[in-house]
Amino acid sequence: MDRLRRKVQWERGDRFMEESTTGMAVKVGLFAALAIFLAGAMIVRFGTMSRTARKTYTILVEFRDAGNLVIGAPVSALSVPIGSVADVQLEFDRVVVRLNVFENVTLYEGSEFAIRQSGLLGDQFVAVNPAPDMGQAKITGGSRVDGISPPNLEAAVTHATDLLVQLRTVGEDVQRALEKVNVGLLSDQNLKEISGTLSNLNAFAASSAQAAEEVEGLVTEVRARVDTTLGSVDEAFIHGSELFIDSRGVISELNVQIENRGMELSRVLDNMNQSVSSLSELLDKINSGEGTVGRLVTDDTLMEELERLVENWRRYGILHKESIKNSPPTSSSPRRVFGMSP
């Protein structure tokens, strides 16, 4: 009886101990989970507060495709964090990403903004390649710049798949071509013909080598003759050069004489031109009736009077005796007044 009682008491004590141990374990587990949760929350909270506590300015970057970029992604320049992604919005056919850049970071126009990825399967971030300070203007808050979109892996995979299909098609074509070559060109008959052709080529090569030796000897002989001919040509050229120099002297003298004759001819031509001009002026005066000759040419009355004067001189004047000698005797005629018609 006592043993049974003690046994029951021991069982009750063990059960109580087990229940107490289980409750304590549950409590410890809950406390540890709550501590881990609070620690994580504090890390996230303080990390966010540390990022948001710093003063920043906003830069709007336009991309054709933002990939898998999310809000809160880091912004780094030369692997140094300089800010974070504040917002990602779609505007028409472009994606506008708003960046919060630390106020103490100065970026200049010409800087490159590109979406990069950490490793092969890592998160995406905005990488900035700063432009050097070469006198460009600073990028101020609210500025809008163009960015470089990330590579499209899906398009690359699709293109690679199409390329593999094309390569497979090309491989099949090459295989068919090789089969045709094996069946058609590399048959036994063709191989025999190719062997005969190679034998003929070997024989031709041997005869060509012999012909080349003969041609080489002929070339040597021709070269010696050409050298002799060139020597003769050089002598003839030297003699011709001397003759050319002498002829240049003769030509120079002829040029001097020709120039002298040309000057004399020019003077003669000038005199002739002056004579022609004087004759032209005289003819113009005669035609215009100036002077005695001009009056004789243009005035018919004066000409008629001169003719009558000469006729009277022949009959009665100083030309009367000469006219009597040259003409037969005539009957007496009445006297004429000098210068008057009968």
Sequence spans of domains, the chain: 56-150, 152-181
Structure tokens at 117: 């990825």
Q: Reduce the DSSP state of residue 320 to 3 states and report it.
A: helix
Could you give the 3-state DSSP secondary structure of residue 125?
A: strand
Question: How many Å is the maximal CA-CA distance in the chain?
Answer: 235
Q: How confident is the model at residue 80 (pLDDT cuts 50, 70, 90)?
A: very high
Instruction: Tell whether the model's pLDDT for residue 29 goes beyond 60.
Output: yes
What is the mean predicted confidence (pLDDT) over 37-66?
79
- Give the count of beta carbons closer than 10 Å to the beta carbon of residue 57: 17
Q: How far apart are CA 147 and CA 96, in angstroms?
A: 9
Report the pLDDT averaged over residues 304-333.
Answer: 64
Q: How confident is the model at residue 305 (pLDDT cuts 50, 70, 90)?
A: confident
CB 146 within 8 A of CB 114: no
How far is 74 from 125, CA to CA, in rounded Å? 5
Bigger pLDDT: 238 vs 153: 238
Q: What is the mean pLDDT of the chain?
A: 78
**140 vs 204, more confident:** 140
- pLDDT for position 341: 42
Pairing state between β 74-77 and 94-102:
unpaired
- Give residue 7's pLDDT: 60
- 332 confidence band (pLDDT: 50, 70, 90): very low
Pick 203 or 89 by higher pLDDT.
89
Distance set, CA 149 to CA 61, 72, 98, 283 (Å): 10, 18, 15, 103
The pLDDT score that the predictor gives to residue 335 is 43
pLDDT at position 266: 80
Write out pLDDT tens, residues 107-140.
999 999 999 988 777 889 999 999 887 678 889 9
Q: Is residue 298 over pLDDT 50?
A: yes
The answer on pLDDT for 149 being more than 80 is yes
d(CA 160, CA 165): 9
Give CA angle at 221 (215, 225), nearest 5°: 135
pLDDT tier, 43 (very low <50, low <70, confident <90, very high otherwise): confident
Instruction: Report H helices in 60-187.
Output: 153-180
SS3 of residue 335 by DSSP: coil
The proportion of the chain whose per-residue pLDDT surpasses 70, expressed as a percent, equals 76
Q: How far is CA 340 from the centre of its chain?
A: 105
